[in-house]
Structure 1
Amino acid sequence: MTVLDRTALSGARLVLPGGVVDGDRLTVEGTRIAGLGGETRPGDLDLTGHTVVPGFVDLHVHGGGGASYTSGIAEEALLAARTHLEHGTTTTVASTVTGEIDDLTRQAAVLSELVEDATLAGIHFEGPFISHNRCGAHRPDLLRDPDPALVRKLVDAARGHAKMVTLAPELPGGLDSVRMLADLGIIAAVGHTDSDYTTTLEAIDAGATVATHLFNAMPGIAHRAPGPIVALLEDERVTVELINDGVHLHPSVLDLAYGTAGPNRVALITDAMGAAGMGDGLYPLGPLQVRVENGVAMLPDGSSIAGSTLTLDRVFQRSLLVHGLTLAQTVESLCATPARLLGLTDSIGSLETGKLADLVVVDSDSYDLVAVMRHGRWAVGGDSFPTVTSA
């Protein structure tokens, strides 16, 4: 990756917090955005015909590039992070899956080192504190009730880098664990749950603020039993994760959820496993094997979807071209909303002076990814832009 002491991007469409601006200029110094606007100068990179958006933020991802964050091997985690970076994800929260508690603590130790060197932004424990009835691609024999002491053991293993814990609040200890996580400043997420409407509301009142991949691995909506989905959608304190791959959710269901919650309460995620960025085949997901056929990850017996093969550049493109979202809406759900959840709005999530120079450049017509910059360094494609020769 090329280090940029100072450079300027000119002629691009910029998606800014205040709106979309065409033909504007963005200056980078070191790792930060140094300025927005101004006249084009010789030596600027000419990005005419391109759109610049903030780097994408993924709250929920298990792996990619054939590698998994659950392996407990630093080199695999680095490969997974690099794969998603090449597809525009400049901020990654690494997600685990259900395993033996001791295995999860060892994984947390490895991932914590990668948080400390700024490769990752934190750790998300998905399981083992989830419902047997809604476990999906998690081994049922390894599930545990969310006893607060056990939840705290995992959190402590992350050395201050645990960002989110997904649990089923109806299980013994569930609500107490939600309260504990909230007190610790860690996101308590409701997911893989068989909870009813009332218990879900109690979890929200106790401090739960995220719905893990809404609709998936939870009861559906019934007219006399609204279940967790309605409780999570209707409460403005809750941010809902949505997987926009055309497999996990019917497009009309995603549109309904998006229209109800709005971009400031939707975090578009990948929930990707190791096959992201790869081809079909067999891949590990924690202690399980997953079969990928035609880009769809399933348990070999066909009983459950097992994560996705998504990358966030595809989510970005689908949101605009399939669902008709605006650039501003899409950027909010891919960047600003997850950045706010992580408490990182001072440094990421929008194109503003002083924030980290985390940028994604796409073609303004097709929305295909062209280049990615992270912390002021080109990770993909930056050398392909021509230089302005005259003002």
Structure 2
Amino acid sequence: MRTVIWNGKLILKDNITEEGFVEINDGIISQISVKNPKKEILLNADSVFDANGKYISPGFIDIHNHGGGGYDFGIGNEDSFIIPCETHALHGTTSLYPTISSSTFEIMENAIILYRKAIQKSYKGATMRGLHFEGPYFSDAQKGAQQKKHLRIPVAKEYIKILNMTDDIRRWSSACELEGTEQFALELKKKGILAAVGHSDANYEQVKKAYEWGFSLITHLYSCCSSIKRDKGYRILGVIEAAYLIEDMDVEIICDGHHLPEGLIQMVYKFKGPDKTAIITDCLGFAGINAPNGTLLREDIMIEDGVAKLTDRSAFGGSIATFDMLIRTSLKAGLPLVDIIKMSSITPARIMGIDKQTGSLDKGKEADVIVFDEDINMHAVYVKGKRIL
């Protein structure tokens, strides 16, 4: 099956062209040009899409996503994985990592089983690239909306059993200051699983040590992260400061228009840069369904003003954003579109080790391609060359 997407502005890694086309052959990008195709290329194609001057972009890669379309990943049956993937694809996400919050061992085990069943099914949505466990090894002081009753320290007897169950885990977020973390990090490294500092009250020295153990990403920077404290008058740096001072540490940020004000988005962009920063939704199951104010996600989490909040309004409980909303928010903050797309595609792909497969408009990569207009409305979505929208 040969498809040609043409007459659009190609968003490449470092520039946006005035015109160009992408040719897809059996799900792989077979040709790319910064000029519009000759007539015979169009005539020889099985399918042609005229972008009509719109943007032709790599699809978005969401490395931190809890669900969508009314479903939280891992709660219920296989639909709890499939429906969010179908929902988010309509908004430009072509790859995502289903994220499981702090929970019991039994819930984690069930999520692994459901995920394995779901990826064996045929569906029209974003590709699931592997599981992300967000917790349960978190700091109570930085728990945010994570439930206190599920928080615990990493105990080998538990996480070894989970790691031996599956090869589908790609990332695990935990608080790096907890007892037992060094051994935990070693086991993750053995399995090739990305270790991320999340919901952590660590100080700078503890994060530096964790980086040496293999922690290479800060989970939702500024959200549930320690910052400068004073101890007997002396200032002690935290996770946020470590994110900037450790040059090779990657970060992810929630650009939903609520979690971070424009100034912080600009600051992360300026000092970490698009090559070290991934944009994420960190969205809950109510993403993509226009839930009204007052909707309860959990007895202590509600929807209000377009975001999930704890019912006492002491903290956010996650976003309900789709990825197109993140792009609009980042543009409003003044970031260049080419770099926003980099932070939404090739940078998260590199962080998760899939940049040779997807994440950019390059010959030989999987054809995860989207077409959108100046207002970031989707006009076409291709996942591995298959048109979803």
TM-score by length of 1: 0.90
Cα distance between partner residues in 2 of 1:201 and 1:117: 42
Q: What residue identity is the alignment partner of 2:335?
A: L
Alignment of 1:92 onto 2:88: no
Q: Deviations over 1:49-69 (max 9, x none)?
A: 200110110110001111110
Q: Give 4+ residue runs of structure 1 displaced > 6 Å after superposition.
A: none
Matched, 1:27 2:37: no
- Of 326, 331, 343 in structure 1, the residue corresponding to residue 341 of structure 2 is 331
Matched with 1:165 is 172
Letter in 2 for 1:334: S
Alpha-carbon spacing, 1:187–1:292, altered in 2? closer, same or farther (3 Å): same
Report the 3-state secondary structure (helix = DSSP H, G, I; strand = E; otherwise coil) of the residue aligned with 1:19.
coil
CA contact 1:233–1:240 (8 Å) conserved in 2: no
What does residue range 109-124 of structure 1 map to in structure 2 within 5 Å? 109-115=113-119, 119-124=127-132
Shift of 1:18: 5.1
Decide whether aligned partners of structure 1 residues 117 and 161 sit closer, same or farther in structure 2, where only a CA change above 3 A counts. Answer: farther
1:232 and 1:156 mapped to 2: Cα distance? Answer: 31
Structure 1: unaligned runs, 5 residues or longer: 381-391
Alignment partners' CA distance in 1, 2:354 and 2:120 = 15
Of 103, 109, 113, the match for 2:107: 103
Bigger drift between 12-21 and 73-82 goes to 12-21
Aligned length: 371
Give me the whole-angstrom Cα distance separating, in 2, the residues matched to 1:25 and 1:92: 25
Write out aligned runs for 1:1-391 (5 A): 5-17=1-13, 19-37=15-33, 39-41=37-39, 42-43=42-43, 44-115=48-119, 119-157=127-165, 159-222=166-229, 224-278=235-289, 279-280=291-292, 281-284=294-297, 290-320=301-331, 322-363=332-373, 365-380=374-389
The worse-fitting range, judged by mean Cα deviation, of 176-185 and 205-214 is 176-185
Q: Give the secondary-structure state (helix, strand or coil) at the position aligned to 1:160.
A: coil
- The sequence identity of aligned pairs, in percent, is 31
The verdict on how the C-alpha distance between 1:18 and 1:168 changes in structure 2, with shifts beyond 3 A counting, is closer
RMSD: 1.8
1:176 offset after TM fit, Å?
Answer: 2.1
Provide the rounded CA distance (Å) in 2 between the counterparts of 1:348 and 1:283: 36
What's the secondary structure of 1:105's corresponding residue?
Answer: helix
One-letter identity of the residue aligned with 1:324:
G
Secondary structure of 1:245 counterpart = coil
Instruction: State the TM-score, normalizing by the size of structure 2.
Output: 0.90
Contact 1:58 1:269 in 2 (8 A): yes
Residue identity in the other structure for 1:75: D
Q: Which has the higher mean CA deviation after the structures are superposed, 83-92 or 216-225?
A: 216-225
**Any stretches of 5+ residues in structure 2 without a counterpart?**
none
- Rounded to whole Å, the distance in 2 between the matches of 1:108 and 1:282 is 28
Q: Aligned letter for 1:196? A: N
**SS across alignment from 2:17:** strand
**1:52–1:139: structure 2 CA closer, same or farther, 3 Å change rule?**
same
Maintained 8 Å contact 2:201/2:226: yes
